[in-house]
Structure 1
Amino acid sequence: MRPVDLAREHGLSTQAIRNYEDAGVLPAAERTVHGYRVYTPLHAQALRAFLALMPGHGHSTATSIMAAVNRGAIEDALRLIDESHGQLLDDRRTLQAVEAALRDLAPVPQERGDTFIGPLARRLGLRPATLRKWENAGLVQPRRDPHTGYRVYSAADVRDARLAHQLRRGGYLLDQIAPLIAQVRSAGGIAPLESTLADWQSRLTTRGRAMLTGAAALNTYLNTTR
């Protein structure tokens, strides 16, 4: 097959095919006496495996997996796959923790205006040192007053501090709370996060199914290379 023949099946450019070969996604092609690349059904199967791996593992990891396979480092490829599955499992556990936390939490009051570390600590019944510890752990991110250097907690910071306080009382550790707060922060609050949980679950399911599809295609390619 010519590069264009391999590219046409997947709507790719011939340059993309050459780039994939250079990156190790495809095994090295034979050359004609005039220097033209000649691809075989083995290359077509490698490309199908790579394209099947990408949705579940991402472009970079899929490239590394195929490059490892094509240089004969099968164990390296399997380790990369295991790491992706481990990350997916971590993501699932984070989602479950968020769902459990939202079920168990008392409503967090809507906060308005800025406050400082002393007043906030008193409102929560904490020591200022505890809030500083939470800041170091990434649970709260107060800004600093440019003139005094004092910590200034916005309404969102107070919300995060209240949420962290409730989670700590619920028995969560700081390293468990940090990713939950990050999810709340990125969603813009608890209510928006609640509405995105179903979509989050759907995306994890899609990714898991994609990993199965990629594994099947890679296994077919591995059987072809024996």
Structure 2
Amino acid sequence: MRTSDVARASGWSVQQVRDLEALGVLPPAHRSANGYRAFGDEHVLALRAYRGLAAAVGPVVARRVLRDARSLPLDEATALVSALHVTLARERDEALAARRALLAIRAEGAATGSGDATPRSVQDDGAVLTITELAAALGVRASTLRFWEREGLVAPERVATRSGAVSARRYPPPAVREARVVAALRSAGYRVPDVRRTVEALRRLDVADPLAALDARLDAIAARTLALLRAGDDVARLLTREPAPRG
């Protein structure tokens, strides 16, 4: 097939086919005597596999996986693709953990009649809390908050004291919310690395309604997982056409 033929068969443009070949997504095309590219069915298959993987994990990762898998023995190539499922599953676990923490905070707020678990002084006038005030609100020690800060779980502001010698910790409403998420997860038995990943996931959302954003994220992960499953047949056929020798 000519470049235009494989483009038409795969749904990509002629330029995209050339670009993907140059990026290593496609096996190198054969060259005819006059120098024109000559493609085969394996190139159409690779383009279909790339489309599915790109929808699931993004174009950068999809390009890397298809390029690397072609040079690996079958067991290593399949492990490389299987890791994509693990990554999506981990993203879902992090989103679910964050969602459970936010729901726990909301339930705590409903029990206290405040609407959420944020101290009323923060809700009403946007006041910040000192480390002593936040520790009391959470029922933890100030040293626990300092440990969480060292581990990257909470991020208080630092302001100079009147003497200017020591910077004091101040917790604005976003930091209070993070601290409550951390407290909820830790009390539920989550380890520090797991809590850190959850907090980082919440920080990436950066929206006014994190619960709605997490629900949307879970829907997106489900759609990406379906795309990865649909791509599986094309990827499997691609990997078993010409197994790479073991190094």
TM range (shorter): 0.7 to 0.9
Q: Are 2:94 and 2:201, in contact at CA under 8 Å, matched by a contact in 1?
A: no
Paired residues of 1:68 and 1:76 also in contact (CA < 8 A): no
Aligned partner of 2:70 in structure 1 is: 70
**Distance in structure 1 (CA, Å) of the matches to 2:52 and 2:146:** 46
> After the TM superposition, which of the residue ranges 24-33 and 10-19 deviates more from structure 2?
10-19
C-alpha distance in 2 between matches for 1:193 and 1:143: 21
TM-score by length of 2: 0.77
Q: Distance in 2 between matches of 1:197 and 1:35?
A: 52
Distance apart, 1:86 and its partner CA: 0.8
Normalised by the length of structure 1, the TM-score is 0.83
Query: How many residues get paired?
Result: 225
> SS of the residue aligned with 1:113?
coil
- What do the CA deviations read for 1:77-126 (whole angstroms, capped 9, x no partner)? 21221211111111222233234334444121252222332343344443
1:115 to 129, 142, 145: 129
1:206 is paired with a residue whose SS is helix
Please name the residue that 2:114 is paired with.
none
Partner Cα separation in structure 1 for residue 93 and residue 206 of structure 2: 21
Q: Tell me the residue number matched to 1:218.
A: 235
1:185-217 deviation line (CA, Å, top 9, x unaligned)? 44457x812223432222121111111111111
- Distance in 1 separating the partners of 2:216 and 2:136: 38
Instruction: Report the Cα distance in structure 1 between the residues aligned to 2:48 and 2:185, rounded to whole angstroms.
Output: 46
CA distance in 1, matches of 2:65, 2:40: 20
Cα separation, partners in 2 of 1:51 and 1:186, compared to 1, 3 Å: closer
- Whether the 8 Å CA contact 1:114–1:154 is kept in 2: the answer is yes
2:15 and 2:179 map into 1 onto residues whose CA distance is 52
User: Is 128-137 or 18-27 further displaced after alignment?
Assistant: 18-27
Deviates more, 1:105-114 or 1:135-144: 105-114
Q: Percent identical across equivalent pairs?
A: 30
Match of 2:197 in 1: 179
- Cα contact 1:23–1:63 (8 A) shared by 2: yes
Q: Which consecutive unaligned segments of at least 5 residues does structure 2 have?
A: 110-116
User: Contact between 1:26 and 1:70, CA under 8 Å: does it hold in 2?
Assistant: no
